[in-house]
Amino acid sequence: MGEKLDILANILSMLIWVYATFPISQVIRAAGDSLAVSKSGTIDFIFRDLAIANIKIFGYVAALVALFGAFAMTLS
């Protein structure tokens, strides 16, 4: 009985991680869109806009991974 529950928990954890890819891809798309409309020069773009976008992406993705990781860990 316990083995079947472990298998079910693993399947649900995988589904949670698959679901997590959608908000993560939306975060990356939004950052790319904000970079696309940037009117900065090359130096400002590289050292300001790109750096800020990377920091935001890392923060949002880390928060989403932590959130969905916590959901997945409650099942196992």
The pLDDT value given to residue 9: 87
| Coarse DSSP helix, strand, coil percentages of the chain, rounded to the nearest 5 percent | 90, 0, 10
| Residues in CB range of 60: below 8 A, 6 or more apart | 27
Global pTM reads 0.82
Give the confidence band of 23 by pLDDT, cuts at 50, 70, 90: very high
Q: Is pLDDT at 16 greater than 90 in this prediction?
A: yes
The pLDDT value given to residue 5: 87
Please, what is the Cα angle at 60 between 9 and 16, to 5 degrees?
15
